Amino acid sequence: MDVEDTHTHSHGHVDDHTHTHGHSHDHEHTHAHISQDDHDHSHTHTHLEGAEYVGADGKKYHSHDGLAPHTHEPLESPGFYSRRAPPLLTRDFQERAFTIGIGGPVGTGKTALMLALCEALRDKYSLAAVTNDIFTEEDGEFLVKHGALAPERICAVQTGGCPHAAIREDISINLGPLEELSQSFKADILLCESGGDNLAANFSRELADYIIYIIDVSGGDKIPRKGGPGITQADLLVINKTDLAEAVGADLKVMERDSIRMRDGGPFVFAQVKHGVGVSDIVGHVLKAYKKSTVSS
């Protein structure tokens, strides 16, 4: 039987009010703007828990553990940068501003990169940010605590399930807040941080116009050659915390060699985001993509 739950998210507006949207999940999501006054948006959508069906793309989809329908079919290869999904040509940046998706495993520095990008871009561009955590609002609170942006420009989403579902299979939980923030603040650039996930996680092009995947050296110098869509198909790979390489026995030359090979010539940056090393290079890649997309639109 179909189980229909609502999930709410709070936003920083003066008046309390409720929005209802006509799609349904059998799982709960919450997201909140980090501010004093909240109002609720209730979404209802229904999926059959445990059901399996063949999608329009010919793949088998199912739903479990409160997640939206998704597929676990094996990938045929680690992927190729040159064959990655291109940005959508039909994007309406008036409806939702140019969106940067930042993904990567837990603890690699995604939120630190969010902070660094906000600090580098906020004086010239109107920004807003959405963070994803499974059960907390910790990453959003980190950005507020460190003054990344005004609190009302930051929205913390609780995905309540596998982080990749919220950036790939069921992006509505992020699209809603991003569109609201874009309209409320006439944003030029939006930042969307995924919850920590594995190397197979990557953003849907319907959500992210530019994708950054961040790893760090503490996972070992083998990580780039392990491949996966995050490594191979992100628009930019960031290899963070290079200052820890010697301590953990990671060889940066090996990581460089394997990144060149696995990314099929795609760009990557060695960084120490917390210390500002490599950040200007990352910003340069972001602004190049932003200007190219928005001018051509």
Q: Nearest to residue 157, comparing CAs of 181, 178, 174, 182? A: 174
**pLDDT at residue 66 tops 60:** no
Residues 59/60/65/68 CA torsion (nearest 10 deg): 50
Counting beta carbons within 10 angstroms of the beta carbon of residue 240, is it exposed (0 to 12), middle (13 to 18) or buried (19 or more)? buried
The one-character DSSP state at 194 is P
Q: Return the pLDDT at 69.
A: 64
Q: Return the pLDDT at 15.
A: 39
Nearest 5 degrees, angle CA 111-CA 113-CA 114?
Answer: 60
- pLDDT tier at 245, thresholds 50, 70, 90: very high
State the amino acid at position 111 in one-letter form: T
283 vs 290: CA distance, rounded Å: 10
The whole model's pTM is what? 0.79
Q: Quick check: 1 and 24 in contact, CB under 8 A?
A: no
Tokens of 158: 């609780």
Task: Indicate the average pLDDT of the chain.
Answer: 83
- In this predicted model, what pLDDT tens digit does every residue of 175-199 receive, in sequence order? 999 999 999 999 999 999 999 888 8
Counting beta carbons within 10 angstroms of the beta carbon of residue 291, is it exposed (0 to 12), middle (13 to 18) or buried (19 or more)? exposed
The one-character DSSP state at 5 is B
- Helices 110-121 & 279-296 angle (0-180, nearest 10): 70
Q: Quick check: 245 and 251 in contact, CB under 8 A?
A: yes
217 vs 176: CA distance, rounded Å: 34
- In this predicted model, what pLDDT tens digit does every residue of 110-130 receive, in sequence order? 999 999 999 999 999 999 999
Tokens of 27: 């799982």
- pLDDT tier at 10, thresholds 50, 70, 90: very low
- Compute how many other C-beta atoms are within 10 angstroms of the C-beta atom of residue 186: 10
Range scoring the smallest mean pLDDT among 11-25, 54-68, 155-169: 11-25
84 vs 232, 235, 296, CA distance in Å?
8, 9, 20
Tokens of 168: 């790939």
Counting beta carbons within 10 angstroms of the beta carbon of residue 267, is it exposed (0 to 12), middle (13 to 18) or buried (19 or more)? middle
The SS3 of residue 129 is strand
What b-and-e string marks burial along 123-137, b requiring 16 or more CB atoms within 10 Å of the CB?
Answer: eeebbbbbbbbeeeb
Spatial neighbors of 56 by CB under 8 A, at least 6 apart, are none
Spatial neighbors of 181 by CB under 8 A, at least 6 apart, are 128, 129, 130, 153, 155, 187, 190
